[in-house]
Chains A and B, each alone.
Chain A
Amino acid sequence: MNKKQLMKIIFVLGSSLFSMAIYAAQASHYTKPIENTASSFDIDRSYAISSKEYWFEITGAALNKGVPINNTSPQVLMLISQARDGSANHSTHADFGKLDVSLMQLVSEHGKIVESKGVAESQLAQTGFFSKSTALFTDKAAQDNGPLTLKSTQPLNPTDKFLVMIREPQSDYVLQLATENPNIDHQRKYLASASVSLPRTLRTSMRLLRPVSFKAVLVGVDGSKVKLKSEYKDGKFYFLRPQLSNIIAPINGLYELLIEANGYHNGNVFNRKAKLALALSQPTANIADTVMEPNDIETAQVHVLVDEFSRFEVRAILYATNPTGKFVAAAESHVALELNAGMAILPLNFDPSMVAKANLKAPYKIDNIRLYDQHQMALLQEQNSLQSQKPIIDPKYKWR
Chain B
Amino acid sequence: MIYSYIKWIRSWRMLIVLSVLLASFSSQVFAVRGVVFVHGTGFQTNAEVDYWTPNFINSVMSGNSNPYLVINCDFEEYIWKNRAAVCLADQIYRWGVANKVTELHFITHSNGANVVRWILSNPTWDFRYPIIITATKNVTAIAPSSGGTPLANAVINGNIFEQSLGWLLGYASDAVFLQQVEYMAFMNEFWLLGTQGRALPVPFKVITGTDVESSPFDSDSYCGGYSNQVALEFTQNWLNSCSDGFLECSSQEVAGTVWFRDKQVMNGGEPLSHQQSRRACFGLDQVLRNDI
Contact = CB atoms under 8 A, between A and B. Distances in A.
11 contacts: A24-B12, A29-B124, A83-B168, A119-B234, A131-B170, A167-B238, A182-B185, A277-B180, A296-B3, A377-B80, A400-B181
B29 interface: no
B227 to A, nearest CB: 8
Interface centre among B5, B129, B275 (most CB of A within 10 A): B5
B5 A17 contact: yes
Contacts of A279: 186, 190
A275 B150 CA distance: 12
Contacts of A152: none
B124 A334 contact: yes
A195 to B, nearest CB: 17
Contacts of A123: 228, 230-231
A299 B3 contact: yes
A28 B181 contact: no
A374 B10 contact: no
Nearest to A131: B170
Q: Chain A: interface residue count, which band?
A: 35 or more
Interface in A284-318: 296, 298-299, 313
Interface centre among A85, A130, A132 (most CB of B within 10 A): A130
Interface string B157-178: 1111111110011110010010
Contacts of A131: 169-171
Given A24-B13, A277-B186, 19 more contacts: A21-B9, A24-B12, A42-B197, A117-B230, A123-B228, A123-B230, A123-B231, A124-B231, A126-B227, A129-B235, A130-B158, A137-B234, A161-B161, A163-B159, A163-B160, A165-B157, A169-B237, A347-B6, A347-B10
A277 B197 contact: no
A132 B127 CA distance: 42
Interface in B1-32: 3, 5-10, 12-13
A171 to B, nearest CB: 14
Nearest to A273: B157
A118 B230 CA distance: 8
A29 B13 contact: yes
A358 interface: no
A129 B123 contact: no
A261 interface: no
B237 A137 contact: yes
Interface stretch (A30-38, A206-214, A228-236): A30-38
Nearest to A17: B5
B124 A336 contact: yes
B238 A77 contact: yes
Contact of B123 (A49, A119, A334): A334
A84 B6 CA distance: 61
Enumerate the 7 nearest inter-chain pairs by beta-carbon distance, A residue then B residue, closest first.
A336-B124, A30-B123, A28-B124, A81-B158, A131-B170, A277-B182, A277-B186
Interface residues of B, number: 64
B287 interface: no
Interface in A39-63: 41-42, 45, 47, 49, 55, 57
Contacts of B159: 81, 163
A130 B155 contact: yes
A349 interface: yes
A25 B228 CA distance: 56
Nearest to B80: A377
A296 to B, nearest CB: 8
Contacts of A4: none
Interface in A129-174: 129-133, 135, 137, 161, 163, 165, 167, 169
B9 A23 contact: yes
B201 interface: yes
Interface of B: 3, 5-10, 12-13, 78, 80, 123-125, 127, 129-130, 133, 150-152, 154-155, 157-165, 168-171, 174, 177, 180-183, 185-186, 189-191, 197, 199, 201, 226-228, 230-235, 237-238, 245-246, 275
A296 B161 CA distance: 59
A117 B180 contact: no
Interface centre among B125, B181, B183, B190 (most CB of A within 10 A): B190
Contact of A163 (B13, B158, B171, B237): B158
B153 to A, nearest CB: 8
A398 to B, nearest CB: 7
Given A24-B13, A126-B226, A182-B186, A117 B155 contact: no
Nearest to B229: A123
Contact of B181 (A29, A41, A49): A49
Nearest to A182: B186
Given A47-B189, A128-B171, A374-B125, A165 B6 contact: no
Nearest to B17: A29
B150 A400 contact: yes
A379 interface: yes
Contact of B5 (A16, A41, A254): A16
A16 B159 CA distance: 57
Contacts of A28: 123-125, 127, 130
B199 A79 contact: no
B21 to A, nearest CB: 13
Interface centre among A16, A85, A132, A273 (most CB of B within 10 A): A132
A312 to B, nearest CB: 10
Given A124-B234, A129-B151, A298 B6 contact: yes
Nearest to A222: B165
B5 A20 contact: yes
A167 B174 CA distance: 24
A48 to B, nearest CB: 10
B237 A133 contact: no
